[in-house]
Amino acid sequence: MNVAALSKNIDVIIGSKKSKEEKLQSICDYLESEISYYDWVGFYFRNGSKEELKLAQFTGEPTEHTIIPFGKGICGQVAVSNQNFVVQDVSEQENYISCGWKVKSEIVIPIFVDGENIGQIDIDSHTANTFTEKDTELLEYVCKQVATIL
């Protein structure tokens, strides 16, 4: 994975004249198309003042998990912990919400605006034990850039 090249293309998307929603969708589409083991890419954001996340833009199979309570599943845990969460094998995670039988691993990185966790990027993979430090590095960069348009 060439983090520098991928990051430059994220910068192009962020700097485009598209709407915020179009930029988020373009990021999902780009990451899913460029990284072979990114099988579902999506953004969840805090749903107003509620203690829940709401699905925004995504690429991949539709999910029934459009609203996730804080603390539930990987995404809900990140909303509470404010920490990156990498799950190399979802079958070993007790507090996991299954988005499909094909999902084997997941990585969730929070998005901060003015020090507040306002959402996250969520990546599902059909391959177990696939995520590395390069994924974390890239997705942290994506989240920092996304924060600039929110």
The whole-number average pLDDT for the span 136-145 is 98
Rounded CA gap, 137 and 133, in Å?
6
- Which tokens go with 111? 């998005």
**Average pLDDT over the chain, rounded to an integer:** 96
State the amino acid at position 69 in one-letter form.
P
Q: For the chain, what percent of residues have pLDDT higher than 70? A: 98
- Which tokens go with 121? 């990027």
Per-residue model confidence as pLDDT tens digits over 24-67: 999 999 999 999 999 999 999 999 999 999 999 999 999 999 99
Q: Which domains does the chain have, with CATH numbers?
A: 3-147 (3.30.450.40)
What integer pLDDT is reported at residue 95 of this predicted model?
Answer: 80
What integer pLDDT is reported at residue 13 of this predicted model?
Answer: 98
Contact 16, 10 (CB under 8 A): no
Predicted structure pTM score: 0.96
Contact 96, 73 (CB under 8 A): yes
Model confidence band, residue 94 (pLDDT cutoffs 50, 70, 90): confident
What integer pLDDT is reported at residue 93 of this predicted model?
Answer: 84
CB within 8 Å of 150: residues ≥ 6 apart: 20, 111, 113, 118, 119
State the amino acid at position 125 in one-letter form.
S
Of 23-27, 46-50, 89-93, 111-115, the one with minimum mean pLDDT is: 89-93
State the amino acid at position 97 in one-letter form.
I
CB within 8 Å of 28: residues ≥ 6 apart: 41, 42, 43, 57, 58, 59
The closest alpha carbon to 45, from 29, 57, 60, 61, belongs to 57
